[in-house]
Amino acid sequence: MKTRRDFLRIGAMTAAGACLAGCRTSGCDSGALSVNGIRIGVQMWSIHDLWKKDPAVAFRRLKAIGYDGVQSIGFYFMNHGELEKMLDDNGLRIVDMPFRMSMVTPEKFNEYLEFCERFSIDFVYQPSAKFSTGAEWRRHADWLMELSEKFNRHGIRVGYHNHQWELRQHFDGKTPMEYLYDAGLNMELDVGHVKLAGADPVRWLEKLNGRVSSIHAKPGGGDSVGGKGDANDWQAIFSAASASGAKWAVVECETRRNTYEDVEASMSYLRTIKEA
């Protein structure tokens, strides 16, 4: 016969399990950093040479640094049960999900959708594309919007992640970013690339009002967010990102990918930003 102590123990275990599962949806770490309501994640590319060796160690260290979420296309190719356990063990969740075109073909769509639903992902994005004419960019933007209709039925938004060339190149008088914008596409705006391309991240966040699910918090120069050489105005960026509806800022430090130093320095700086 179960005693009251047994029931209390079982109840506590059930609550703990619910909390861990909730970390993949709303989060359960009340001490996690947020700036203007924007939670902080990290792109695993920042430590690419390290995390592939031992994901569990990487997750544990990133959580200790203060990150609330992680992001990588590589997660899709891991054992999903093992990935789920490692995330839950460390109170982390997956932030958004990149896709290759080959991953969302009609015959592969349900498999990718199942992954997104398992990990409570509500925004997916294409991380890169290159074309040589305006017509090609227009057709591709239309294709992404058609893909959006399929995902929208499942409560998932579709977007695109910019690099510098979408702002530097011009086809028929327009940049690729303008073709994507004109199509009505959502964005994971990489503010570092915007800055390095000579454009204004705040202006783009304002222009994309309501269509920015997250930002990539990449330094606008230098090795780390807020570090030497970073020309971004992070106070203004977080204010504009919040106003645009962004829920996550995903730190990406890609100049040195065999050290935790830059993601640690980025988090230390982000803790100094005051709410607008």
Per-residue pLDDT of 188-220, as tens digits, reads: 999 999 999 999 999 999 999 999 999 999 999
Long-range contacts of 141-150 (CB under 8 A, 24+ apart): 141/179, 141/180, 141/182, 141/183, 141/185, 142/183, 144/180, 144/183, 144/185, 145/183, 145/184, 145/185, 147/104, 148/185, 148/186, 150/109
Residue 182 lies in a domain: yes
Residue from 40, 51, 78, 55 nearest 258 by CA: 51
Residue-wise pLDDT for 132-188, tens only, equals: 999 999 999 999 999 999 999 999 999 999 999 999 999 999 999 999 999 999 999
Residue-wise pLDDT for 96-145, tens only, equals: 999 999 999 999 999 999 999 999 999 999 999 999 999 999 999 999 99
Regarding whether 15 and 124 lie in a shared domain, the answer is: no
Q: Is the pLDDT of residue 20 over 50?
A: no
Token code pair at residue 38? 């924007």
Name 208's Cβ contacts closer than 8 Å, sequence gap at least 6: 181, 187, 189, 244
Regarding whether 97 and 11 lie in a shared domain, the answer is: no
Q: Identify the pLDDT of residue 275.
A: 75
Amino acid at 223: D
CATH number reported for the structural domain that contains residue 118 in this entry = 3.20.20.150
Residue from 177, 251, 174, 252 nearest 208 by CA: 177
Residue-wise pLDDT for 213-268, tens only, equals: 999 999 999 999 999 999 999 999 999 999 999 999 999 999 999 999 999 999 99
Residue 276 lies in a domain: no
Regarding whether 257 and 155 lie in a shared domain, the answer is: yes
Residue 60 lies in a domain: yes
Residue 224 lies in a domain: yes
How many domains is the chain partitioned into structurally?
2
Residue 217 lies in a domain: yes
Regarding whether 125 and 7 lie in a shared domain, the answer is: no
What's the pTM? Answer: 0.88
Regarding whether 55 and 16 lie in a shared domain, the answer is: no
Residue 21 lies in a domain: yes
Regarding whether 91 and 220 lie in a shared domain, the answer is: yes
Q: Identify the pLDDT of residue 31.
A: 62
Which range marks the domain in which residue 226 is found?
A: 31-270
Q: Identify the pLDDT of residue 276.
A: 62
Q: Identify the pLDDT of residue 18.
A: 39
Q: What are the CA-CA distances from residue 117 to residues 76, 152, 266 (Å)?
A: 12, 13, 30
Regarding whether 62 and 14 lie in a shared domain, the answer is: no
Regarding whether 119 and 9 lie in a shared domain, the answer is: no
Regarding whether 8 and 78 lie in a shared domain, the answer is: no
Regarding whether 87 and 65 lie in a shared domain, the answer is: yes
Regarding whether 50 and 135 lie in a shared domain, the answer is: yes
DSSP state for residue 47 in the 8-state scheme: G
Q: How confident is the model at residue 29 (pLDDT cuts 50, 70, 90)?
A: low
Residue 154 lies in a domain: yes
Cα–Cα distance, 52 to 170 (Å, whole number):
37
Residue 275 lies in a domain: no
Cα–Cα distance, 184 to 141 (Å, whole number):
9
Regarding whether 188 and 100 lie in a shared domain, the answer is: yes
